[in-house]
Amino acid sequence: MSDSLTIAMPKGRIFEEALDLLRKAGYQLPEEFDDSRKLIIEVPEENLRFILAKPMDVPTYVEHGVADVGVAGKDVMIEEERDVYEVLDLKISECYMAVAGLPGYQKQEINPKVASKYPNLAAHYFKKQGEQVEIIKLNGSIELAPLIGLADRIVDIVSSGQTLRDNGLVELETIEPITSRFIVNPVSYRMKAEQIDRMVERLFDVVEGDNG
């Protein structure tokens, strides 16, 4: 029998969609997933072990090889720059990264401040634009920053646009589209190639086919 595969799943909003994708790909996953607070779930029938991590931490588990594969948002991949292979766009949890601010925002020449949960991504973006900014790292409720005067702009995820609208903010620039990705530890990819390829193929068929 082959070794079991450990898969790091992001808790939170991606989780349900990723689980749904795996089930559509033919993996029989117990109901335990839907109503448990367990962080490690073994599925011996499928030779799988799931670990449930914070979304931002998934690439860390995969890079260190304690998980062979995982599911992570492109936003997290850009921010974390971990040494993992990104092998498949799962096309779930679609949203995009944008710069936003108060309506009528005028570029500030002196010490412009940008608040974000993604300081590396934001720093790269503004460097590429040739603009020098101070990045202020926040952990959530990013839209508060311009309202309260902590920063004049934010870099954050936009999906429906409701959070911006409800807080009287406007999108100033679109940075890039975001979806979730299937990621693989490079050593696992060599050692467990057959199992991982099989999983990628099955997911690919759901993502690209019409059996989704």
Ligand X SMILES: Nc1ncnc2c1ncn2[C@@H]1O[C@H](COP(=O)(O)OP(=O)(O)OP(=O)(O)O)[C@@H](O)[C@H]1O
Contact residues: ligand X, CB under 6 A: 12-14, 54-56, 73, 75-76, 93, 95, 140, 157, 159, 178, 180
Strand partners, 176: 97
8 Cβ contact list (under 8 Å, min separation 6): 50, 51, 53, 58, 61, 62, 67, 69, 70, 71
- Residue 93, amino acid: S
In angstroms, rounded to a whole number, what is the distance separating the alpha carbons of residues 206 and 212?
A: 5
156 binds, among ligand X, ligand PRP, none (CB under 5 to 8 A by kind): ligand PRP
Sequence-distant (6+) residues with CB within 8 A of 64 are none
Binding mask 135-174 for ligand PRP (x = CB under 6 A): -----xxxx------------xxxxxxxx-----------
Identify which of residues 75 and 152 has a Cβ nearer to ligand X in the complex.
75
User: Interface with ligand PRP includes 36 (CB under 6 A)?
Assistant: no
- Residue 208 tokens read as 């690209």
Burial of 86 per CB tally in 10 Å (0-12, 13-18, 19+) = middle
Picked from ligand X, ligand PRP, none, the partner binding residue 76 (CB below 5 to 8 A depending on kind) is ligand X
Phi, psi of 141 (to 5 degrees): 45, 45
Question: Which DSSP category does 111 fall into?
Answer: S
Q: From the list ligand PRP, ligand X, none, pick the one residue 132 interacts with, judged by a Cβ distance below 5 to 8 Å according to partner type.
A: none
| DSSP SS3 for 148 | helix
* Residue number, 4 or 163, with CB nearest to ligand PRP: 163
108 versus 141: smaller Cβ distance to ligand PRP: 141
Question: Please, which residue, 88 or 157, has the CB nearer to ligand X?
Answer: 157
User: What's the first-to-final CA gap in the chain, in angstroms?
Assistant: 30
Query: Is residue 53 at the binding interface for ligand PRP, with CB under 6 A as the rule?
Result: no
Q: Which is nearer to ligand PRP, 97 or 196 (CB)?
A: 97
Given ligand X, ligand PRP, none, residue 202, with its beta carbon under 5 to 8 Å by kind, binds none
Question: Where on the chain is the footprint of ligand PRP (CB under 6 A)?
Answer: 140-143, 156-163
